[in-house]
Structure 1
Amino acid sequence: MRELVVLGTASQVPTRHRNHNGYVLRWDDEVILFDPGEGTQRQMLMAGLAVTPLRRICITHFHGDHSLGLPGVLQRISLDKVPHPVTVHYPAAGQEFYDRLRHATSYWDNADIVASPADGAIFETETPAGRLTALPLWHSLPTYGYRLTEPDTRRMVPALLAEHGLAGPAVGELQRTGRLGDVTLEQVSEVRRGQTFAFIMDTGLCDNVFALAKDADLLVIESTFLQEDAVLAAQVGHLTAAQAAAIARDCQVRTLVLTHFSQRYPDPARFLAEARPYFDGEIVLAEDLMRIPVPARR
């Protein structure tokens, strides 16, 4: 199971139809919560999601619409006595805010919460799902975007196996050792490209936006403004729908998810209309409680 569950799609101000941010990535056994804004715990309930499967929480920055739901989620993890460690990634420069949110109120702390702050020009860690990379973005306070990259593997090609007279247990041994007699794994297999997920919230245009989005199978990216307010977007460190779509085009993204919409635009269809001329791939206009599958492998 590889899918994104959208919990909230508003920006600074929620609306009647859009909660503050919140996104759960289900990637096989690795379940990651991104940017739990206010109300995330309730949105997880509405989406039929429990906290127990969560292995990791990634916070891009410490504005309230991206982090005020963290105390409730952590307290629920404790209440449910989640048996495994839950790692929290966040900008190291926001340690003061993390400490406040970690123990915002009194509760019986039964969980193993592992703080793992991101610092410097690049932060990387290995997870069961692949390499998680965090790169700094351009916003009004320290902000990181995230990229999950599954390692490439190799897929056996039946015709090539038959050509070399390999079958049954011999195939398994070749996969384990990389060589069987004169036959190498490369001779009877082909590269199975790993999948990539990218998550980019509040930022103006910068090089790391493109580094995070490059060749992503699924890109979740803010499109707070429309192009008519591009000057304001640049001033406050945000993107327009047109810019987000152009990024997806230039980075050869497969599926583009637009989200983090300003309440100033009552018609969400305008974001899709603005993005379409810039990107001819699949565009999803995120809605609360929507489930978006990671595209099937090529």
Structure 2
Amino acid sequence: MPTIKVKDGTEIFYKDWGSGQPIVFSHGWPLSADDWDAQMLFFLSKGFRVIAHDRRGHGRSTQTGDGHDMDHYADDLAALTAHLDLKNAVHVGHSTGGGEVAHYIARHGESRVAKGVLISAVPPIMVKTANNPGGLPKEVFDGLQAQLAANRAQFYRDLPAGPFYGYNRPGATPSEGIIQNWWRQGMMGGAKAHYDGIVAFSQTDFTEDLKKITVPVLVMHGDDDQIVPYADSGPLSAKLLKNGTLKTYKGFPHGMPTTEAETINADLLAFIKS
């Protein structure tokens, strides 16, 4: 399997298919590069080079005990882009991956980056603070950690079967395959990485990162996102970005790149080509 070894010895698994302008995909918590199947195949067929990695502790990457914070996530992504010598790349991040993309571009500069896309992404900051009164209380995230520690396998069954894909909404038609694939990806990763990752995605403040970014960034968010609530994320990120565009999807859930792939892919393609 293709991997790179980063400076602390962690091995990061990645996929690298095709040729042409590179699109780099950063996945959400607690998933893997496999969560981008619908995007990877679509953009490969459109003549792009598509790259996706498993974040440290996730999927097929090393189940290291430490380094589960946004600085390490961004540095691992920078190591991958340097290893592959990517230029003029479009970076697409979903959920936690959106935070990773924002932090990577701000921390490592824009010399290799053409554009960014934040999908259902965690920035500017998820947790409620004095500066972020619309955020979720810290107790919400403490509860996620408690559920993970108590019975990770059941927790990872309930999340995709319910709020992640909006399958708990009236009239929704759950896909058993999608639910099981989420569970499969989650259980491949390490419990410690996922436990610490809850703090990383909820308590990191990306405000200054977003202000630094000058490349065009598309912010895509569903207004029925039950994981990263819309009002305290997408619109605020778009305002902080120098060159940000907000696209709001009525009724779409957090996991919209999977359940609404046709719409999301078409809009991504239009933005990349614009």
TM-score interval (norm. to shorter): 0.3 to 0.5
- Compute the TM-score of the two structures, normalised by the length of structure 1: 0.35
TM-score by length of 2: 0.37
Q: Which has the higher contact order (CA 8 A, sep 6+)?
A: 2
